[in-house]
Amino acid sequence: MKLYYNPASPFVRKVLVVAAECGIADQIEKEEIALTPVNSHAPLNSENPLGKIPSLLLANNESLYDSRVICEYIDALADGGLFPPNGSARWTALRRQATADGFCDAAVLVRYEGFVRPSEKQWPDWAEAQLKKCRRAIDVLEKDSASFGDTVDIGTLSVAVALGYFDFRNDEEAWRNNAPNLAKWYEGFALRPSLVKTQPV
In this structure, of 5-19, 42-56, 59-73, the range with the lowest mean pLDDT score is 42-56
Rounded Cα gap, residues 143 and 162, in angstroms: 16
Between the CA atoms of 158, 161, 163 and 168, what dihedral angle is there, to the nearest 10 degrees?
-160
Q: For the domain covering 87-192, report its CATH number.
A: 1.20.1050.10
Model pLDDT for residues 114-162, shown as the tens digit of each residue = 877 788 888 999 999 999 999 999 999 999 999 999 999 999 999 999 9
* Contact (Cβ atoms closer than 8 angstroms) between residue 31 and residue 2: yes
Strand 55-57 vs strand 63-65: parallel, antiparallel, or unpaired? antiparallel
Provide the percentage of residues in the chain whose pLDDT is more than 70: 99
pLDDT at residue 81 greater than cutoff 80? yes
- The overall average pLDDT reported for the chain is 94
Cβ atoms within 10 Å, residue 32: 11
H/E stretch holding 65 reads strand 63-65
Which carries the bigger pLDDT value, residue 163 or residue 33? 163
Residue 17, pLDDT score: 98
pLDDT at residue 39 greater than cutoff 80? no
Residue 33, pLDDT score: 86
Residue 116, pLDDT score: 78
* Contact (Cβ atoms closer than 8 angstroms) between residue 147 and residue 183: no
* Contact (Cβ atoms closer than 8 angstroms) between residue 32 and residue 7: yes
Residue 159, pLDDT score: 98
pLDDT at residue 24 greater than cutoff 80? yes
Residue 82, pLDDT score: 98
Chain-centroid distance, C-alpha 158 = 6
pLDDT at residue 36 greater than cutoff 90? no
Residue 119, pLDDT score: 86
Q: Which CATH architecture has domain 2-78?
A: 3-Layer(aba) Sandwich (3.40)
pLDDT at residue 59 greater than cutoff 80? yes
What average pLDDT does range 154-180 have in this prediction? 96
Give the 3-state secondary structure of residue 31.
strand
* Contact (Cβ atoms closer than 8 angstroms) between residue 68 and residue 100: no
pLDDT at residue 87 greater than cutoff 80? yes
* Contact (Cβ atoms closer than 8 angstroms) between residue 2 and residue 65: no
Domain ranges of the chain: 2-78, 87-192
